Amino acid sequence: ILSRALGGKTGRAISGWDIGVTAIHLSSSTSTLFSSLNIPTTLSVIECHQDEVRELPPEAEVIAWSEKTGVEMFRYGDHMMGIQGHPEYTKDILLHLIDRLMQLSFIEDSYADELKANLGKVEPDKDAWKKLCTSFLKGRF
């Protein structure tokens, strides 16, 4: 929504739903930007979406990507940052969303079962996300 509001183009992801805990990679220029925060260059975040940024808004910069999504994060100057994932979500929230998507027939039961089975394997990097988002909001990078 943020990308589209700023003049970018979005749409349904060709690769389909992205649900679960996903590893995102900070771009090399962004790693330098975040270096003072002492956070890893790869962060895990909870995702639940089927849309993606296809074209960034003018003057926006990709700051993170994943194997499935080319624009996981972008910044628009020093005052706006878009995040595809949901650092604010917990696994309980995600489990509820998976059940809801299955009940509404947006995803197959077997896919929901697979997603739930994989949830225990990786934890989102909550502390790193908190540092990153707080620092951005305070204008510290």
- 78-102 pLDDT, tens digit each: 889 999 999 999 999 999 999 999 9
Confidence of residue 29 (pLDDT cuts 50, 70, 90): confident
Predicted local confidence at residue 71, as pLDDT: 94
Residue 140: inside a domain? no
| Rounded Cα gap, residues 140 and 33, in angstroms | 10
Evaluate whether residue 42 is within a structural domain.
yes
Does the residue 132 lie in any domain?
A: no
Instruction: Tell me the residue range of the domain where 61 lies.
Output: 1-126
What confidence tens digit (pLDDT) does each residue in 49-72 have?
Answer: 999 999 999 999 999 999 999 999
CATH number, domain containing residue 19? 3.40.50.880
Q: Is 83 within a domain?
A: yes
Q: What's the structural domain count of the chain?
A: 1
**141 occurs within a structural domain:** no
Q: Is residue 135 part of a domain?
A: no
DSSP 34-90: TGGG---SEEEEEEEESEEEEEPPTTEEEEEE-SS-S-SEEEETTTEEEESS-TT--
Q: Per-residue pLDDT for 31 more than 80? A: no
Residue pair 12/31 in contact (Cβ under 8 Å)? The answer is: no
Q: What is the pLDDT of residue 105?
A: 95
**The model's pTM:** 0.87
